[in-house]
A and B are shown apart, each in its own frame.
Chain A
Amino acid sequence: MANIIEVEDLHFRYRDGTEALRGLSLSIRKGSRVAILGPNGAGKSTLLLHLNGIYLPARGKVRILGREITAKTERWVKSKVGLVFQDPDDQVFSSSVWEDVSFGPINMNLSAEEVRTRVEQALRAVQMEEHKNKAPYHLSYGQKKRVAIAGVLAMEPEIIVLDEPMGYLDPRGKDNLLAILNELHRREITIVIATHDVDLAAEWADRVIIMKNGRTLAEGDTSLLADEELVRAADLRFPVVVEIFRRLPELNLNPLPKTISEAVEVIRAELKHASWEHF
């Protein structure tokens, strides 16, 4: 089983008549890090809610681990796909951190012992165990975000979907979250994020899906983010690293560097080259 998520010709219309998805298809491989990009109203959030079975497909199919999401499998899929909302205040609603993280496992009707172990493990994974008795409204935004992720981790999903994970986080909070995402990747959890942050996508993702008007515009590796036509069509902009090297056509680079480490490597090679020429 290569593709852990498969979406086929998915359509969805909100009750007010907005057509959010119009024949969206995409596939995601197990263990990959996927960034979904696209302008506001492209249907990203609607797609995310389909992946976890909150919305059931009006037309088309969503398959998780090879099983189609229907009214029958909708409960099952909630334990397989964890959904982290953008605003942790929407998600973290209990009166203590511990209590909140236990919410998912309790809904899964696990044994009390199992609930306790899972909550402890999840809190440790996001380094929040020392705050477990605190009230969520006494936490910082970044800490609340970590609690929201722990709440999903405690359900031991195989896929974690995050809506704009870095939104409103301070630089330190972003670094912490990135470290957590890397750790989850190491555990072979498939991670899907929806974001407007092209720099994050270029730096972190190994696969990029670009959406527009409820359809997939392009699917591929991060080199899509350096594709001028695509970037314009999707109302995106180039990642900073790409933008810098686009303005240096004299370097004759193809492909362009997309991450900071790629850029550093290129610059270092150029410096070495230049110093030799100096001789």
Chain B
Amino acid sequence: MVENIVFGQYIPGKSILHRLDPRAKIFCLLTFIPAVLLAGHWPFYVLLTLLTAFLIVLAGLPWRIIFQTLRPFWFILVLTFLLQVFFTPGEAFLRAGIFQATKEGAVLGGLLFWRLTLIIAVSSLLTLTTSPLDLTAAVERLLAPVARLGVNAPELAMMMTVAIRFLPVLLREALTIKKAQQARGVDFNSGWPWERLAKTIPLLVPLFAGTFGRAEELAAAMEARGYRVGAKRTRLHPLRFAWRDLAAAGFTAAVFALVVFFRA
């Protein structure tokens, strides 16, 4: 049913994670990430990993989907790991020319790799279980206090929705342009990295031109349906904080506090 999940996509469902107030979910994410980053002792890694696994099970999503959302990040993940392994001073266990892999580096790299994986997995859980409409509503509400400082929260939220919606469209367009150029003889799959990079520039020009044209059309289409910055609009999704939202927020806050406490 679901093929090619893109990071940021939403999969409708009825799990407890789906039903949590999006504001609570954002709060949990924003406490979970620093907890992962600050975790100093290995039992905390085990705890946070188990917690992430537990959340994935709670969301009722197949593991396959979580791995799919991780896939675009593998390069960064592997790169950070390798950089740590080879550039941390310490006891060398492998030598390749001027490079040497250290035990300390392997441990550090492994930890960093695992931290990033956890963060990406939990972040994708937020978007996988929250409809963009709810997410925008939550962002709008959470930003309400800054609105007084001149930040236009509803418009920021609208920008977010539009950006999420157009990611797949832009991707498809880029692929179409790429195919059109391949049809005229451009070979994207060979050459040195900088040569390949140079080849993407003619790809970007029509993509940007197309995007600007589309943005203009979209603005006209939105205006045609009565959209106007700052106008009063119907609120369809009144957000309600329930006990379970409080419990979830409280629990992650406690985990965070524990991590910070034992780090000191």
Interface residues of A, Cβ cutoff 8 Å to B: 49, 52, 54, 75, 78-79, 82-83, 85, 87, 89-91, 93-96, 99, 102-112, 115-116, 133, 135-137, 151-152, 155
| Interface residue tally for chain B (C-beta within 8 Å) | 32
Provide the residues of chain A in CB contact with B168, threshold 8 Å. 137
Q: Can you list 15 contacts pairing A with B, beta carbon distance less than 8 Å?
A: A78-B226, A85-B224, A89-B169, A91-B221, A93-B218, A94-B133, A95-B10, A95-B133, A96-B131, A99-B131, A106-B236, A108-B234, A115-B234, A135-B9, A136-B165
Say which residue of A91, A93, A104, A116 sits within 8 Å of B226 (CB atoms): A104
Residue pair A107, B221 in contact (C-beta under 8 Å): no
Interface residues of B, Cβ cutoff 8 Å to A: 9-10, 12, 131-133, 161-162, 164-166, 168-169, 172, 214, 217-218, 220-228, 231-236
Q: Binding site of B, secondary structure by majority: helix, strand, loop or mixed?
A: helix
Residue pair B234, A112 in contact (C-beta under 8 Å): yes
Residue pair B161, A106 in contact (C-beta under 8 Å): no
Residue pair B236, A90 in contact (C-beta under 8 Å): no
For residue B226, which residue of chain A has the nearest CB? A107
Provide the residues of chain A in CB contact with B228, threshold 8 Å. 75, 107
Q: Binding site of A, secondary structure by majority: helix, strand, loop or mixed?
A: helix
Say which residue of B131, B214, B220, B232 sits within 8 Å of A95 (CB atoms): B131
For residue B220, which residue of chain A has the nearest CB? A54
Q: A95-B131, A95-B132, A96-B131 are in contact. Are A90 and B221 (CB under 8 A)?
A: yes
Provide the residues of chain A in CB contact with B214, threshold 8 Å. 89-90
* Minimum CB–CB distance for B229 against chain A, Å: 11
For residue B237, which residue of chain A has the nearest CB? A112
Say which residue of B217, B222, B225 sits within 8 Å of A87 (CB atoms): B217
Provide the residues of chain A in CB contact with B131, threshold 8 Å. 95-96, 99
For residue A75, which residue of chain B has the nearest CB? B226
* Minimum CB–CB distance for A106 against chain B, Å: 4
Residue pair B235, A112 in contact (C-beta under 8 Å): yes
Complex Cα spacing A90 to B218, Å: 5
Residue pair B233, A90 in contact (C-beta under 8 Å): no
Provide the residues of chain B in CB contact with A152, threshold 8 Å. 225
Provide the residues of chain A in CB contact with B224, threshold 8 Å. 49, 52, 54, 78, 82-83, 85
Provide the residues of chain B in CB contact with A115, threshold 8 Å. 234, 236
Q: A75-B226, A78-B225, A104-B225 are in contact. Are A93 and B165 (CB under 8 A)?
A: yes
Provide the residues of chain B in CB contact with A104, threshold 8 Å. 225-226
For residue A111, which residue of chain B has the nearest CB? B234
A79-B226, A89-B169, A107-B233 given; 12 more Cβ-contact pairs under 8 Å: A54-B220, A78-B224, A90-B221, A93-B162, A95-B131, A99-B133, A102-B236, A109-B232, A109-B233, A109-B234, A133-B12, A137-B172
